[in-house]
Structure 1
């Protein structure tokens, strides 16, 4: 079973994402922000990271950079799921090493399609 780390400071958004992914057969680990995500990943691996951009303590792009600097996560797919849709932010995400960018509110069917595409 593939495992996904869902990172979002909004509890309701985390629950929606987790529910959507769990009902498609994925195991979901939830984190409240980038710092929490790093702590939860310590010593374990996931098949995909799905992160919000705007969060306290560590935002999504900083999380992407930190994960990409870790040998274990150099090629793990990382999707940013956020309300941010400016080209500038998308470019910053791409430069940091994000695999893709999804805009909230998300369509559960599309989210699962994208996840299936990026998880090998």
Structure 2
């Protein structure tokens, strides 16, 4: 079974994403910020990470840079979630190592399509 770490400071977003990902057979863990997420990755690296952009303590971009510099940190496929279609944010995320991005709020079909495509090795952008 594939694993996914959902990193978002919103309890509701984590709960919704967890339900969707578990329905498509992912084992899911959660973190409220990048610092907590990095500690979890150090313990066990997930196959995928659904990552929020803006969070307290450590934001998504800072976490992503730290992750990609860590041994084994190149492994997870990272889907970055942004709240606005800001080309600058998206470019920074891609440069830091994000594999794909999608807009929030997302729905079941969009999230499922990102992770089903991920399983098939596609490089997606969703808005």
The TM-score range, normalised by the shorter chain, is over 0.9
Q: Check whether the contact 1:53–1:84 (CA below 8 A) recurs between aligned residues.
A: no
Kindly provide the CA deviation profile for residues 55-91 of structure 1, in whole angstroms up to 9, marking residues without a partner as x. Answer: 0011111111111101202142111112132001001
Distance in structure 2 (CA, Å) of the matches to 1:72 and 1:84: 30
Q: Check whether the contact 2:47–2:75 (CA below 8 A) recurs between aligned residues.
A: no
- TM-score between the two structures when normalised by the length of structure 2: 0.89
Bigger Cα displacement from structure 2, 57-66 vs 110-119: 110-119
5+ residue gaps in structure 2? Answer: 122-127
Number of aligned residues? 120
- TM-score between the two structures when normalised by the length of structure 1: 0.94
- Aligned residue for 1:73, secondary structure, equals coil
Q: Check whether the contact 1:10–1:32 (CA below 8 A) recurs between aligned residues.
A: yes
Q: Following TM superposition, where does structure 1 have runs of at least 4 consecutive aligned residues deviating by more than 3 angstroms?
A: none
CA RMSD of aligned residues (A): 1.2
What pairs up with 1:94-109 in 2 under 5 angstroms? 94-109=94-109
Distance in structure 2 (CA, Å) of the matches to 1:23 and 1:13: 16
5+ residue gaps in structure 1? Answer: none
Distance in structure 2 (CA, Å) of the matches to 1:98 and 1:31: 18
